[in-house]
Amino acid sequence: MVRAVLSLVAAEDLEMHIVDIKAAYLNAPMDVPVYINQPEGYKEGRDGTVALLRQALYGCKQAGRLWGDHVHATLTKAGAVRSTADPTLYIWAHPDHGTIRILVHVDDIAITARTLQGASAAKGVILTTYKGRDLGAATTFLGMKLERDRAAGTLKLSCPGVTMALINEFGMTEAKPNKQPMAPGTTPLRSGENLLADGKRYAELIGSLLYLSTSTRPDISYAAGVLACYMASPEDDHWRAAKGVLRYLAGTPADGLLYQAGERIAGAVDADQGGCRDTRRSTTGWVFTWNGAAVSWARKRQPTVPTSTAEAE
């Protein structure tokens, strides 16, 4: 849904601004009595005196929900309506400024509107209720870099900073780039031999690749998903395959999603039969594009073993 909203920015030439809420969770009152030990350096009363927690402190299991309920009440009071497709998206049919979309991601709030006045109206509602920073026109959001060309009517989403940091962390800055994330027909196996001495580094690498694959790099989604199946007991072959994905990223650090003006949607869905040689289960994959770039994609291992191509698809 985040990418779908951002693709509208290019398609409809919308204004997009970002607001950062300070200590977001602390705006919501606690729903049940919770007592905590007094913080170090702050003591009142006799020894053993505890404090009653009044606000949703970070670390409380219900803090996120309470903050979500609080910001929901604030936005709906102003006239916004929660989207049925995504509970973090609010649509405000403003009487003077048209449709305003407000996307809430914890303490980061993105606002899209047809005019600067519309964006300012939404920011006014938020910043009069909460302490926060008006970051102005969006250049980054949720770790994604936003590059906009109004003349060409395009918006590009990419993660070059995250990509280069990952390449540097694993010492691949001088690596020869691969042309593909994973060679066609490559199917890693679980042999039970040549296990990595420390699987934590493998898990760290795959976790980072999965983040990139779900944000702005659908081209590595399949490779990252396949390699994620071996995080429990990674082997040398799996490690080499994961480093191969890094080699591919080293040659394409600035690649991303380029949305263009227009209203064009297309999609494709497919599945193999018994593609996993370890379990003989099939994999389903899909991608849907809107305004020239992907807004939804995934690859998922099917839960059962199909007996035919028709069943797999």
Taking the CA atoms of the chain, what radius of gyration do you get in angstroms?
Answer: 23
3-state DSSP assignment of residue 182: coil
pLDDT of residue 165: 93
| Class in CATH terms, 2-31+50-138 | alpha beta
- Counted residue by residue, the chain has a size of 313
Helix ranges (DSSP H) in the chain: 2-11, 63-78, 116-129, 160-169, 199-215, 221-228, 236-251, 309-312
pLDDT of residue 11: 64
Regions of the chain where pLDDT drops below 50: none
pLDDT of residue 186: 72
Angle at 216 (CA atoms; ends 234, 159), nearest 5 degrees: 90
The helices-and-strands tally (H runs, E runs) of the chain is 8, 15
Q: Please name which of 274, 164, 145, 285 lies closest in space to residue 224, comparing C-alpha atoms.
A: 285
CA atoms of 133 and 20, how far apart (whole Å): 5
pLDDT of residue 283: 83
3-state DSSP assignment of residue 286: strand
In the chain, ranges of CATH 3.30.70 domains: 2-31+50-138
